[in-house]
Amino acid sequence: MDITLAVRARGITKCFGDVVALDGIDLDVAQGQIHGLVGPNGAGKTTLLGLLLGLAAADDGRLEILGTPVGRALDTADGVAGFVDGPGLYPSLTARQNLAALATLRDTRTVGIDDALDQVGLTDVADDRVRGFSLGMRQRLGLAAALLTSPRLLVLDEPSNGLDPAGKKHVHGVLTRLAAEGTTMVLSSHRMDDVEALCSEVTILAAGRVAFSGPLSKLSAENDELDYRLRTSDPQAARRVALDTPGLHVVDGSDAEVLVVRALVPALDELVVRLVKAGIAVRELIPVVSPLEAAFLALIEQETNR
């Protein structure tokens, strides 16, 4: 048993009737790490998070949480908190009453309801009924509910769902601070940019299988061709230069103002040098999708075509 791992899963399988939701999943999450779980709809993310929260038991495989093997009884392991499919809240109660009710039900030591509300930025609406809360406010309240138990492992299903940019920044700040204080997190997202902002490691699920698991730095598409948007001072001349540049393709979807080119980094460098030599100013040169997003999409395609 490796006590430096907050989660250790080996060969986890979970079926719903004929549907194989998880098909032999291995997962290692080091203590204090924020670990992202990404994948397309139906990949098995929520099912896996549900197993970590003790909401369901695996059909096969071995799961250890915070150093303790998980049995077949449905129960949240000590030190674990979080939610899947949105937090369970009472709409007719206020935010503060919801947290008080949960603390009573759990009979747990609390870090303080006011403190939890403050951490997620809900102090001003603490005495408003949850019925009137937006999706983003409910997500924050769900996080506050999880914080009440001072968890060592926090399991969150799409915590950024419904958050506006300021809300997302706030919640990311809370999660980053918790990780710095030693809380381990496993969170799911559909978005690689979320994962990039928060996580040091990521597991990509596709069709119930692990397509990749490891540090984000390893998941790089540097050696693959990427599409880049190019905006210059002279789009027509830039197109002629691009068409002449070896190893670079002008992609359909380019328009009069913006050229989309597909290239490896060396060919892209050559294009920029040629543009500058031709007196054409480069105003914008950005990947259409980030290298991580591109690697993610390529892996998903590979795995779903297997």
Applying CB under 6 A, the residues found at the interface with ligand ATP are 16, 19, 21, 39, 41-47
User: Least Å distance between CB 200 and ligand ATP?
Assistant: 21
C-beta closer to ligand ATP: residue 39 or 79: 39
Sort strands 258-263 and 226-232 into parallel, antiparallel or unpaired: antiparallel
User: Least Å distance between CB 26 and ligand ATP?
Assistant: 17
C-beta closer to ligand ATP: residue 16 or 90: 16
User: Least Å distance between CB 104 and ligand ATP?
Assistant: 29
User: Least Å distance between CB 157 and ligand ATP?
Assistant: 7
Contact of 61 with 8, CB cutoff 8 Å:
no
User: Least Å distance between CB 99 and ligand ATP?
Assistant: 26
> To 10 degrees, what angle do helices 165-180 and 135-147 make?
10
Strand partners, 248: 263
In the chain, the amino acid numbered 149 is T
User: Least Å distance between CB 175 and ligand ATP?
Assistant: 19
* Angle (nearest 5°) at CA 289 between 286 and 290: 80
Q: How far apart are CA 173 and CA 198, in angstroms?
A: 9
C-beta closer to ligand ATP: residue 47 or 98: 47
C-beta closer to ligand ATP: residue 119 or 161: 161
C-beta closer to ligand ATP: residue 223 or 305: 305
C-beta closer to ligand ATP: residue 27 or 241: 27
* Distant-in-sequence contacts of 64-67, Cβ < 8 A, 24+ apart: 64/1, 64/5, 64/7, 64/8, 64/9, 65/6, 65/7, 65/153, 66/6, 66/152, 66/153, 67/1, 67/2, 67/3, 67/5
Q: Rounded to whole angstroms, what are the CA distances from 289 to 3, 218, 258, 270, 297?
A: 38, 17, 15, 21, 10
| CB-count exposure of residue 290 (10 Å: 0-12, 13-18, 19+) | middle
